[in-house]
Chain A
Amino acid sequence: MMMINIVGLAIIALIIWWFWLYKPDQTVTDSNEVLIEVKNGVYSPASIQVSANQPVTLKFLRKDESPCSEVLLIPSLDISEQLTLNEVTPIHLENVPQGEHTFHCQMQMYRGVLTVV
């Protein structure tokens, strides 16, 4: 029984580490365009780092049929966009304040972060 409890607690520790503590690698880009695919329940790449000095266009290509993926929100920049299925929706950003700006769907099930450095 002890073993089972240890395994259970290890699973809990793994959940905490995997979802909250682990910081995934960011897609760092010098280009002023980033293509983000919306597919199978996720944004890909979901973590993007851009430079504060240059304007950047986030191009969202929605391939996910689920209506949940339809709306993209970047609350800190007051942006909300309707993503059309199988089309690229460009979001042009200029003078974005440094820091982390999360982007997500209406229900926050699809999540990503734009880091401006």
Chain B
Amino acid sequence: MNKPTTEQQLIIEGAGCASCVGKIETALKNTHGVERAEMNFADRTVLVSGTAETEALINAIESAGYNAKALNDSPGSDALEDKEAADWAYYKKLIRDTVIALSLGIPLMIYGLLIGEMTVKTTFQRGAWLVVGLLTLGVMYFSGKHFYVGAWNSLKNHSANMDTLIALGTGTAWIYSMLVVFVPDVFPLMARHVYFEATAMIIGLIDLGLALELKARGKTSEAIKRLIGLQAKTATVIRDNKEVQIAIEQVLLNDVIKVRPGEKVPVDGVVVEGHTSIDESMLTGEPMPVEKEQDDEVVAGTLNKSGMILFKATRVGKDTALAQIISMVKRAQNSKPPIGRLADVISAYFVPVVMIISVLSALAWLNFGPEPALAFAIVSATTVLIIACPCALGLATPMSVMVGVGKAAEAGVLIRNGEALQTASKITAMVLDKTGTITEGTPKVTDIVVANASNEKSVLQLAASLEDGSEHPLAMAIVESAHDQDIELLKTEGFNAITGMGVEGRCEGKALLFGNSKLMATKGVDIGNYSEKAQALAKEAKTPMYFAVDGQLAAIIAVADPIKPDSVAAIKRLQASGIRVIMLTGDNKETAAAVAKKAAISEFFAEVLPEDKANKVQELQWQGDVVGMTGDGINDAPALALADVGFAIGTGTDVAIESADITLMRGSLHGLADAIAVSKATLRNIKQNLFGAFIYNVAGIPFAAGVLYPFFGVLLSPVIAGAAMAFSSLTVVSNANRLRLFKAKDH
């Protein structure tokens, strides 16, 4: 088979001069299958037509000494527009099919209801019903062809789906009716009934259901559409000292990009010039604009509010934070929580089981039914096939997950998969790391109590010199305090961090120790009655640390890390939803108690070494709790991984937190309460959907088979079954859509 000729556009990297154009074009033209290759030097793209694979083209360009990539690897909105156009075309087709089928079905049904003569008794009736039968065949072809082709293909593949049921149901009704028309004498007089109206109505109603479902489905992906819509389409790049407006797919790493006030940041990068404030709320949910100046990171999709900036692109295409968020949300939207697995197992066996029930039902009527038994058998078999709705069962979980995960993303909560979503809804205990989670994570020196030292300044100089280079937040607070006071730092030697206790080192010939009381006790430093002073500081929610010089206590330095303004409110929201909130900190007990009290938390673990965080999570699990752990995602990785659900508090738009099940893109703990609220709402929605779908099928199928007939003389009409089936899956999708109205509480 010949491959069709296609056009492909590639972006070229490393083409610095006009002479590269010829080299690249020649390399491409020498590639097998290339008919034409034209390079646009201004935007560094090349348009290739022919039958060659993209990979072969990239290899050719690479062997010519350049790099290349296909121009379709960004989460651009074009694909989305294509999808919407395709959905719209399909919707119009379904509506047209519905109109054709119902134009025949409705008059026939009205005739049946008013006149009631849907039987073949006279020659005239035979002729008239033959015409109607042929018209119904036309409806089956024009409006229902997709059911029959789909059913036939599935059947050939030894599988069965919704098409199989509809094709068998409507086909049986039509064939039976045509047999009645052609050979009426074969059938008992009472069984000479035709069901053309059922065939036409069922096809029309199910097409209508599919069309409405398609519309409703479109709404379930609104969140992802909004995220994709954040992506700018063009960027102003400085190339050869000139501003060039290019498509964002053509932006290369290290390009310098200009963003004016009111424009979106097109790719991720670092500011090289200018100062501005940027609205990141669309990604993080954080309402306040963030100030940006040189060396600060900017993120694709965010909105430049005030000043003009130049920034250097550090992540483009699929690598931007926005693209990663989109792909993570898409992946999560399509993943299934465990609650949906039973429905999956049932779906896999559903259709053949319904076919068997249909045959059994027909046999039961033929054996035990009243006259006309044959007509009853045909009606019940057809109705069973038509009423059974595997779609409602199959759609119940994915539709809710799609909306729930999207809703969470809108609130700056990224849920990794369906399992995390389900477990988050069941959390009974939430462990919060103190620093950076409950508190700002940027501690400041508040007190220096001098013991055996000359003055505060010399204490701070030595302590800051020792801590310089350490990345511990408390150490950084000491160094920053020294910088603020213009204190020059000295050179230290033999720096050694003692996990869970503090640090030691030498400076200007002095042995320095800085850390908690355990460190002082281990190293034999007498702290005398200074422990009381330390306790007093701790009760004020400050973290006191001892500083010793040459084995003598020199001072206590206290550092405090303010609680985030909205932590208390968010913690109360968690507690109000019945969750035990537990604080975890490496701080001493007094400080931990003071911080916990301020944060309205009654349970805490203090003096926990970093490696013990995971053990504390496990202790709670052993107590029978479903444990959520919230931390910064880096230091707390083992605890996050061990917890039933790990929540990583991101800083801004840092989404690459692999150890977390759920990433909160803003620092506020309200994100945590939102995540749990949205998980609970989604799970409730899934349960409603599954319950509805199960009950519908469990009750509908026996009803269609005629179990009520012996008691009440009622047998369901296939047309009613068709309407019920068409609207059952629509109900599931619409119920999932209700989740779009979910709003996290005001905060």
Contacts and interface: CB of A to CB of B under 8 A. Distances in A.
Interface stretch (B159-167, B240-248, B527-535): B159-167
Given A20-B352, A80-B334, A109-B162, A85 B363 contact: no
Given A41-B151, A73-B334, A106 B352 contact: no
B360 interface: yes
B348 interface: yes
Given A5-B363, A44-B157, A67-B90, A108 B344 contact: yes
Interface in A29-68: 39-44, 46, 65-68
Contact of B158 (A11, A22, A39, A106): A22
A15 interface: yes
B447 interface: no
B153 interface: yes
Given A41-B153, A110-B161, A111-B159, A19 B352 contact: yes
B335 A80 contact: yes
Nearest to A82: B330
Given A42-B150, A107-B390, A108-B347, A65 B90 contact: yes
Identify which of A4, A9, A15 gathers the most chain B CB atoms within 10 Å of its CB. Answer: A15
Give the size range of B's interface with the partner: 35 or more
B391 A107 contact: yes
A71 interface: yes
Contacts of B335: 78, 80
Given A12-B360, A15-B356, A67 B161 contact: no
Contacts of A5: 363, 366-367
A97 interface: no
B355 interface: yes
A41 B352 contact: no
Contact of B159 (A19, A39, A78, A80): A19
B217 interface: yes
A66 B82 contact: no
Given A41-B151, A65-B86, A24 B157 contact: yes
Give the size range of A's interface with the partner: 35 or more
Contacts of B83: 84-85
Contacts of B398: 71, 106-107
B204 interface: no
Given A4-B366, A71-B334, A107-B395, A40 B352 contact: no
Interface string B607-630: 000000000000000000000000
A111 B351 CA distance: 13
B87 interface: yes
Q: Is the interface of A mostly helix, strand, loop or mixed?
A: mixed
A68 to B, nearest CB: 8
Contacts of A18: 155, 158
A43 B156 CA distance: 11
B153 A42 contact: yes
B642 interface: no
Interface string B389-403: 011011100100000
Interface of B: 79, 82-83, 86-87, 89-90, 93, 146, 149-163, 210, 213-214, 217, 330-331, 334-336, 344, 347-349, 351-352, 355-356, 359-360, 362-363, 366-367, 390-391, 393-395, 398
Which 6 residue pairs of A and B lie closest in terms of their CB atoms, listed nearest first? Answer: A107-B394, A41-B150, A80-B334, A109-B161, A19-B352, A108-B347
30 contacts: A4-B363, A5-B367, A15-B355, A16-B356, A19-B351, A19-B352, A20-B352, A39-B153, A40-B146, A41-B150, A41-B151, A41-B163, A42-B153, A42-B154, A42-B156, A42-B159, A65-B89, A65-B90, A66-B90, A71-B334, A73-B334, A73-B336, A80-B335, A85-B86, A106-B394, A106-B395, A107-B391, A107-B398, A108-B347, A109-B162
